[in-house]
Amino acid sequence: MGRAEDALDIETGHLLSKSTTIGTGGPAAAFARPQSLAELEKALRWGRERGLAIVTVGLGSNLLAADGGVDALVLRLEGDLAAVEVDGELLRAGGGATNAVCLHRARAAGLGGLEFACAIPGTAGGGVWMNAGAYGSDWSGILERALVVSAHGSGWFTPNELGLSYRHSDLQPGDVVARVEYRLEPRPVEEIKAEVSELVARRKATQPTNKRTFGSVFKNPPGELGAGRMLELCGLKGYRIGGAVISPRHANFIENADGATSADCLALIREARRRAREEYGVELEHEVVLWGLTPLAPDA
């Protein structure tokens, strides 16, 4: 791995397979770990001057990066941009703060509302980006506001201003969620612990939590039949291409079973969409974010 611009701590050649939960992906053109707003703004200027796209990686879930690499400046928010603090009923977190740490701090302060996040292995900023959710709750229900920074400036935005809807926000490429404020409610610590334990047990019973995946592949389509059940009825559990396999436990997950590539995963995504279209006339929309890969057209 090479180094460039030591003062900015910009890495070259960072393999994204090391920074994604599925364990696939080639090198990033540049990789930085800003630890403050000043460092973030400096990195954004650096990327803009070189004409690089700007993308942010949290824990690397919900992400599939091209095997040939990504022509972008990839940011991982650390330090102050991953810190968490409680202020009354507000929980303030850096965009890089993990959901696990946020939940731990909220529970210790007797604040409820974040319990559902125990099922989401990501960060505060990533949650805002996709309005992440589980078990009937999502970011739009707890978010007070978020600080969004880009090469063009910064500002605080409410859920309505962010356009949060089912697994969606109006954030654009180059936007970085630097800080997040959650509005939570007092709740007995034992109740929080009990709900989290129940949700964790449910997740372990139904999802491949001990396998390398990027999380849910598809958004649930309208109607009562979820994506996972639909693909299971299509006979796709255990279906394999190369080193990637549709999880035998939950058909809306792809596992890295044996040296999978992103191309293997993408081929499975295409096959699953084809089967759902043929069997149910449904065009499944992928939830996973594609980096350096051609976006899937509705009929792909």
Q: How far apart, in whole angstroms, are the C-alpha atoms of residue 167 and residue 227?
A: 14
How many domains does the chain divide into?
3
Residue 177 shares a structural domain with residue 85:
yes
- Amino acid 197: pLDDT: 97
Q: What is the mean pLDDT of residues 65-70?
A: 96
Q: How far apart are the first and last CA of the chain?
A: 36
Could you report the per-residue pLDDT of 138-183, keeping only the tens digit for each? 999 999 999 999 988 999 999 999 999 999 999 999 999 999 999 9
- 167 in active site: yes
pLDDT at 3 over 60: no
pLDDT at 297 over 90: no
Give the CATH number, domain containing residue 132. Answer: 3.30.465.10
- Amino acid 299: pLDDT: 52
Residue 33 shares a structural domain with residue 89:
no
- Amino acid 1: pLDDT: 44
Residue 69 shares a structural domain with residue 89:
no
Q: What does each C-alpha distance from 168 to 215, 255, 287, 291 come to in angstroms?
A: 16, 24, 9, 17
pLDDT at 69 over 80: yes
Residue 198 shares a structural domain with residue 151:
yes
- Amino acid 293: pLDDT: 87
Q: Which two tokens stand for residue 73?
A: 């400046």
Angle formed at CA 139 by CA 138 and CA 141, multiple of 5 degrees? 75
φ, ψ at 250 (rounded to 5°): -150, 120
Q: What does each C-alpha distance from 259 to 28, 97, 106, 245 come to in angstroms?
A: 20, 29, 38, 11
Residue 216 lies in a domain: yes
Q: Which one of 204, 224, 252 terminates a domain?
A: 204
Residue 98 shares a structural domain with residue 59:
no
Length of the chain: 300
Could you report the per-residue pLDDT of 96-109, keeping only the tens digit for each? 999 999 999 999 99
- Amino acid 5: pLDDT: 43
Give the CATH number, domain containing residue 268. Answer: 3.90.78.10
Q: How far apart, in whole angstroms, are the C-alpha atoms of residue 140 and residue 41?
A: 26
Residue 57 shares a structural domain with residue 154:
no
* Whole-angstrom Cα Rg for the chain: 19
Q: Which one of 142, 177, 204 terminates a domain?
A: 204
Residue 194 lies in a domain: yes
Residue 155 lies in a domain: yes
Residue 300 lies in a domain: no
Q: Which of 33, 105, 107, 167 is catalytic?
A: 167
Residue 200 shares a structural domain with residue 214:
no
Q: Which of 216, 255, 262, 273 is catalytic?
A: 216
pLDDT at 114 over 70: yes
- Amino acid 91: pLDDT: 98
φ, ψ at 52 (rounded to 5°): -90, 140
Residue 297 lies in a domain: no
Q: Which domain holds residue 38?
A: 2-76
Residue 140 shares a structural domain with residue 59:
no
Could you report the per-residue pLDDT of 208-253, keeping only the tens digit for each? 999 999 999 999 999 999 999 999 999 999 999 999 999 999 999 9
Contact 34, 178 (CB under 8 A): no
9 pLDDT band, cuts 50/70/90, is confident
Q: Which one of 204, 219, 244 terminates a domain?
A: 204
Q: What is the mean pLDDT of residues 73-94?
A: 97
Q: SS3 sequence, the chain?
A: CEEECHHHCEEECCEHHHCCCCCCCCEEEEEECCCCHHHHHHHHHHHHHCCCEEEECCCCCCEEECCCCEEEEEECCCHHHHCEEEECCEEEEECCCEHHHHHHHHHHCCEECCHHHHHCCCEHHHHHHHCCEECCEEHHHCEEEEEEEECCEEEEECHHHHCCECCECCCCCCCEEEEEEEECEECCHHHHHHHHHHHHHHHHHHCCCCCCCCCCCECCCCCCCCHHHHHHHCCCCCCEECCEEECCCCCCCEEECCCCCHHHHHHHHHHHHHHHHHHHCCCCCECCEEECCCCCCCCC
Buried b (16+ CB within 10 A) or exposed e, 8-40: bbbbeebbbbebbbbbbbbbbbbbbbbbebebb
Residue 72 shares a structural domain with residue 106:
no
Residue 299 lies in a domain: no
- Amino acid 4: pLDDT: 41
Q: Which of 11, 41, 255, 287 is catalytic?
A: 287
Give the CATH number, domain containing residue 70. Answer: 3.30.43.10
Residue 103 shares a structural domain with residue 176:
yes
Residue 231 shares a structural domain with residue 214:
yes
Residue 40 lies in a domain: yes
- 287 in active site: yes
Residue 108 lies in a domain: yes
Residue 222 shares a structural domain with residue 176:
no
